[in-house]
Amino acid sequence: MTPLPPEDGHLRAPLDPGDGHLRGGDDPWALLRNATRARVALGRAGDGLPTARELEFRAAHAAARDAVHTALDADLVRAALTAAGVGLEVLEVHSQAPDRTTYLQRPDLGRRLAEGTELPAGSHDLALVLADGLSPRAVHEHAAGTVAALLERLPGWSVAPIVLAHQARVALGDPVGEALGAGIAVVLVGERPGLSSADSLGLYLTSGPRPGRADSERNCISNVRPPHGLGYAQAADTLVALLQASRRLGASGVVLKDEGTALPPA
């Protein structure tokens, strides 16, 4: 569908050259909807939404709820890492939240390691924590690809065993990174689902991880979920630039800026 010239700033559907009316079945808002994942120009049927749009909304809401309540499948993530060529050892930890209901009601417990957790101490440049967060689905679908793209770009870096974290919030990466002896921790976490993005992965970088770090001491790359969000290569490029700068500065958070381009080349 080709819009008419926007003389008044509004997009229009093509008109039938015979009678000058909209062609049967043409949707004048289709062009705008196709340019965004946002819910725009849904139309109306009487006083309400068209039935098709109402059903789409309900399906998206159900997908978001499912993403929150789906359990992290460690075997699935391990298999995806292996298939992506990631050969690092994989460890598992749990937070102090004993189940999903408690995790959702007590965010503080998701930031603490379960009592008795032991991790191998070492001296590493980087620790990677794959945390289920509010969308284990995002970890299932995008963690392996992101990790593989990242490791390809970090030759010479000492990377600790990968840690899979159940019922985990971002700050759980602080005690994990400290226990592993990592200079920097990156937490790949399932983000809070939206009605158009139930599988969005966030990457949080913290220099000198240890319990008590503030959110202002972290850097975040959000919405990793190709093809509708950031691709793995673009996210890894940005993260590597931040990691290298963080190592030079010995810090992260508000003192560390992303100097890369805002958008990928067209």
92 is in an annotated binding site: no
191 is in an annotated binding site: yes
152 is in an annotated binding site: no
- Could you please report the per-residue DSSP string of 111-146? GSBPTT-------EEEEEEEE-TT-HHHHHHHHHHH
Residues in contact with 118: Cβ distance below 8 Å, sequence separation at least 6, in sequence order: 179
C-beta of residue 119 within 8 angstroms of C-beta of residue 163: yes
Specify binding-site residues for adenosylcob(III)alamin.
170, 191, 220
